[in-house]
C-alpha cells in the first residue's frame, strides 16, 4: 500500500487543470467559493491551482452533483471528478463512494439546498442525527448534497410531519425541500404528491 501524505488543516496541494477543465469550473461555479474562483482565474496553465483539503472536497461534491444530474459535459465532469478524488485519496482523505455508486447504479440522489433551507431543516424537522450533522457541516451558501434513497425518505417524512406545525418562513422552505426531494425520487412522468 502506498504511503499517504496527510494534508493538515490549511495546507494546500496543487490541482493541475487543463484549459477546458478551467473553463468548465469557471462557467459552472455555483458550488465554488469566491476566493477559489479568484484563485482559479489568477492561476494560468500549466501552473497548478493551490487548494486545501476542504476546497477539494467541496469541488468533488459539487462536480459529483453536476456529473450525476447534469447533461452537458458529462465526460469532462467525470474526468475532473476522478482527478480530484485521486488527489484526495493520495493525501489520506476518503473518496466519495456515494457519488461513484450513484453514477453506476443510482441508489443515491442529490438535492441543492440553500443555507436557509438547511437551517430550517435542522431547526424544525425531526431528522436522523447523522443527516442533521451533515446539513450543519455543509459550507455556507447553496450546496448540492448527496443522500441515499433511505436518507431522502427519512428527510421527506420528517419534513412532511413538521410542515403543518411550522410557521412562516420555515413552512415555505420545508415545502420547497419536499418538492425537491419528490423531483429527485419520483420517476419522470409520475405526478408529484402534495407537500
What string of pLDDT tens digits covers the 195 residues of the chain? 444 566 666 778 888 988 888 888 888 767 778 888 889 889 887 889 998 888 888 887 777 666 655 556 777 877 888 888 888 888 765 444 333 333 333 345 678 899 999 988 888 777 888 888 888 888 888 888 888 888 888 888 888 888 888 888 888 898 888 888 877 765 343 333 333
C-alpha cell at 105: 447504479
DSSP 113: E
pLDDT at 66: 66
pLDDT at 83: 86
Helix (H) or strand (E) holding 79: helix 74-90
**Residue spans per domain, the chain:** 12-103, 107-185
pLDDT of amino acid 109: 67
Buried-exposed string 133-149: b where 16+ CB fall within 10 A, e elsewhere: ebbeebbeeebbbbbee
pLDDT at 189: 37
Close Cβ partners of 136 (under 8 Å, ≥ 6 residues apart):
118, 122
Per-residue confidence (pLDDT) for residue 135, from 0 to 100: 87
- CA distance to 36, 122, 192, per residue, from 136 (Å): 21, 7, 28
pLDDT of residue 73: 73
Would you state the pLDDT for residue 3? Answer: 46
pTM exceeding 0.75: no
Q: Say if residues 162 and 125 touch (Cβ distance below 8 Å).
A: yes
Three-state secondary-structure class, residue 100: helix
| CA Rg value for the chain | 18
Answer for the pair 96, 64: CB distance below 8 angstroms, yes or no: yes
168: β partners: none
Amino acid at each position: 500500500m502506498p504511503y499517504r501524505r496527510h494534508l493538515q488543516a490549511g495546507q494546500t496541494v496543487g490541482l493541475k487543470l487543463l484549459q477546458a477543465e478551467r473553463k468548465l469550473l469557471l462557467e459552472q461555479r455555483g458550488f465554488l467559493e469566491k476566493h477559489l474562483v479568484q484563485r482559479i482565474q489568477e492561476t494560468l496553465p500549466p501552473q497548478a491551482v493551490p487548494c486545501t483539503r476542504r476546497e477539494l472536497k467541496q469541488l468533488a461534491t459539487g462536480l459529483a452533483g453536476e456529473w450525476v444530474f447534469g447533461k452537458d459535459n458529462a465526460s469532462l465532469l467525470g474526468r475532473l471528478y476522478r482527478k480530484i478524488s485521486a488527489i484526495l485519496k493520495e493525501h489520506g482523505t476518503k473518496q466519495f463512494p456515494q457519488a461513484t455508486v450513484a453514477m453506476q447504479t443510482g441508489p443515491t440522489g442529490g438535492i441543492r439546498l440553500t443555507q436557509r433551507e438547511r437551517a430550517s431543516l435542522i431547526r424544525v424537522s425531526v431528522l436522523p442525527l447523522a443527516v442533521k450533522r451533515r446539513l450543519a457541516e455543509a459550507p455556507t451558501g447553496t450546496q448540492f448534497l448527496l443522500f441515499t434513497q433511505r436518507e431522502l425518505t427519512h428527510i421527506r417524512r420528517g419534513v412532511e410531519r413538521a410542515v403543518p406545525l411550522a410557521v412562516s418562513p420555515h413552512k415555505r422552505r420545508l415545502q420547497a425541500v419536499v418538492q425537491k426531494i419528490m423531483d429527485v425520487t419520483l420517476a419522470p412522468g409520475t405526478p408529484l404528491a402534495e407537500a
